[in-house]
Chain A
Amino acid sequence: MSQERRQDPRRAQPLSQHVGIQKIQRRQRIVFWCLMLCIFAMGLLLAVERHRERRRIEALAEQMPIDAPTAVAETVTLDLANDQDGSIHPETRQIALPLAVNARARALIDHLLAEYALPGSAHSLPPGPAVAEVFLLPLPVMGYVADSSSSATSTAGYRATMPVPSDGPSGLQPQHPGGELAVIDLRSSWVNQHPSGVEAESLTLRSILGTLHRNLPRIEQVRFLVDGQARETLAGHADLLRTYHVRDTTTQMDSEDPEPKNP
């Protein structure tokens, strides 16, 4: 059997010659695998660029105002914060704003916060879209108080609430007829990058409140949400659960303190 194998000339030949295939040279194999690598890399690059472009277009769409801006730019006053001395000072800008009040409020806040993202800002904040939406509610607004008589409170350990009539003492009342409550829904992607600190966070809120006060006097009160949800603080300090009254925030708080009110 072994002698038969040795004598069979076909069996002694290499396989490539046996099946009629020429041997692939080493450099050809290298070229082949280099080409395969290039194809894979180009495919990967194409996928990454496609994803990046999609995100850029989505970001642009998020920044677009709901309402088209008016053709003519108008003068608005932005209350700009300064970290160094904790002050707020007004500065005018020419900005084209939409007509709807809630869209104007959103555009104003977007422009204000975009100023803080510029290099050399006195109150440096992260860039990117900050406001998802601004909702306006006419005042007075129905409120809720804790309901200690509810069975849920006593048995299930929950904290039940009950609505308060709008004409009751606990309702959010307007200071002037036609006053509105603005609910500003911030994006968590922006809030999560906000610098932490009492001064930094308070200046951001004061700046927003002051800018709304100067340009949209119908807005009397402001509440904040983050991605549509209530959140305790902006970045660990400033309270986001309370309702803020808009006011002139450029003056020193100490000099503008009114006399205590009689309860």
Chain B
Amino acid sequence: MATLSGHAQHRQASGGSATPGSSAQAVPKPPVLTTQHPLVAGPAPLPLPAPIAIQRRVIVLDPAHGGSDAGAQISDTTAEKDVTLALAFRLRAMLAARGFTVVMTRDSDAPGGGGLTLDDRAGVANHAHAAACLVLHAGSSGDGVHLYRSDLDAVSAEPTVPPWLTAQAAWIPQSRLLQREIASALARSGIPLVIGAVSVRPMDSLTCPALIVELAPADEDADSINQTGYQQRVARAIAGALLVWESRVQAPPQLSVAASTITTLATQSGRTALHP
């Protein structure tokens, strides 16, 4: 256990006990793959810790930036950190009205972004075992909403010890489905939409269906990003999509410890020289 990453320790320490959202409905245990790598000796796969159920009624919102980190300067009077927090509050209200428990990584503009680093925010999100993790950003380019998932290559099963910098890889198929769900809802609401895949921390470290929601101005005027009606429309569409998503989310299959060891090493490729 001593070799586990902090993320893995968090996952195993929480053990599926008390988590946000008492009304959460547990899902059946996901299938466990016991693939034995040919390079790993041993007659039988090691016993696995019980996988932690997804809390279907829990949503994580991460209003990016905060404190001294203002993010992008959208106009002379509007900073990204303020837009993300305002959108998070609207979304939280919409989700709470629909019976969700919302975990926010910050709920004020405290100095230093509430004292949480990007890795801390990922830790908060991973502890929640949420049905969806939405990282909220805002920018001045384009219009409408930009909806991104991680551009990591997807893997078909989650290692028991997920590598911190590529933990999202096993959740990519679920993130892709969530992206389509929210994109459909936004399109139905008539909101201009750009979808894609990007590499923006800490999304690659999240062990939940995760998306970046970047809010752009409603029209040519950059300050239109602050319009209450516009933000309400975006929040309503996202909250509606999450209501549908609640019944569709599934955890990825788990790998055995033996196969996980190989996978953990293999997926660290390209990330090993520069740890945060």
Instruction: Say yes or no: A261 contacts B142, CB within 8 Å.
Output: no
Q: Interface range on chain A: under 10, 10 to 19, 20 to 34, or 35 or more?
A: 35 or more
Q: Say whether A227 faces chain B, with CB atoms less than 8 Å apart.
A: no
Instruction: Say yes or no: A263 contacts B141, CB within 8 Å.
Output: no
Instruction: Say yes or no: A169 contacts B269, CB within 8 Å.
Output: yes
Per-residue CB contact flags for chain A residues 59-87 toward chain B (1 = under 8 Å, else 0) read 00000000000000000000000011110
Q: Say whether A232 faces chain B, with CB atoms less than 8 Å apart.
A: yes
A263 to B258, CA, bound (A): 11
Q: Tell me which residues from 133 to 189 in chain A have a Cβ below 8 Å from any Cβ of chain B.
A: 143-146, 148, 159, 161, 164, 168-173
Contacts of A84 in B (CB 8 A): 142-143
Q: Say whether B125 faces chain A, with CB atoms less than 8 Å apart.
A: no
Residue of A170, A198, A221, A233 touching B214 (CB-CB under 8 A)? A198
| Min CB gap B224→A, angstroms | 15
Q: Say whether B97 faces chain A, with CB atoms less than 8 Å apart.
A: no
Q: Say whether A260 faces chain B, with CB atoms less than 8 Å apart.
A: yes
Instruction: Say yes or no: A196 contacts B155, CB within 8 Å.
Output: no
Contacts of A260 in B (CB 8 A): 154-156, 172-173
Residue of A164, A197, A253, A254 touching B72 (CB-CB under 8 A)? A197
Instruction: Say yes or no: B148 contacts A198, CB within 8 Å.
Output: yes
Q: Say whether B216 faces chain A, with CB atoms less than 8 Å apart.
A: yes
Closest to A263 in B: B263
Known contacts A164-B272, A243-B270, A243-B271, A262 near B155 by CB under 8 Å: yes
Q: Say whether B63 faces chain A, with CB atoms less than 8 Å apart.
A: no
Known contacts A161-B275, A170-B265, A260-B156, A236 near B72 by CB under 8 Å: yes
Residue of A200, A236, A241, A257 touching B274 (CB-CB under 8 A)? A241
- Selecting from B17-25, B47-55, B108-116, B198-206, the interface stretch reads B198-206
Q: Say whether A239 faces chain B, with CB atoms less than 8 Å apart.
A: yes
Q: Interface range on chain B: under 10, 10 to 19, 20 to 34, or 35 or more?
A: 35 or more
Contacts of A200 in B (CB 8 A): 139, 141
Contacts of A126 in B (CB 8 A): none
| Min CB gap A200→B, angstroms | 5
Closest to B266 in A: A169
Q: Say whether A18 faces chain B, with CB atoms less than 8 Å apart.
A: no
A146 to B273, CA, bound (A): 9
| Min CB gap B96→A, angstroms | 26
Instruction: Say yes or no: A236 contacts B71, CB within 8 Å.
Output: yes
Q: Say whether B107 faces chain A, with CB atoms less than 8 Å apart.
A: no
Q: Say whether A118 faces chain B, with CB atoms less than 8 Å apart.
A: no
Q: Tell me which residues from 171 to 207 in chain B have a Cβ below 8 Å from any Cβ of chain A.
A: 172-173, 176, 179-180, 194-201, 204
Instruction: Say yes or no: B272 contacts A199, CB within 8 Å.
Output: no
Residue of B176, B214, B266 touching A199 (CB-CB under 8 A)? B214
Closest to B255 in A: A263
Residue of A143, A230, A242, A263 touching B157 (CB-CB under 8 A)? A263
Contacts of B275 in A (CB 8 A): 146, 159, 161
Q: Tell me which residues from 182 to 228 in chain A have a Cβ below 8 Å from any Cβ of chain B.
A: 195-200, 202, 221
Give 17 CB contacts A-B under 8 Å. A169-B266, A169-B269, A171-B269, A172-B269, A172-B270, A195-B141, A196-B72, A197-B80, A202-B200, A236-B71, A243-B270, A252-B195, A260-B172, A262-B156, A263-B35, A263-B159, A263-B262
B residues apposed to A, CB below 8 Å? 2-3, 35, 65, 69, 71-73, 80, 137-143, 146, 148, 151, 153-157, 159, 165, 172-173, 176, 179-180, 194-201, 204, 212, 214, 216, 255, 259-260, 262-263, 265-276
The 6 closest A-B pairs by CB, nearest first: A197-B139, A243-B270, A86-B194, A196-B72, A263-B263, A260-B154
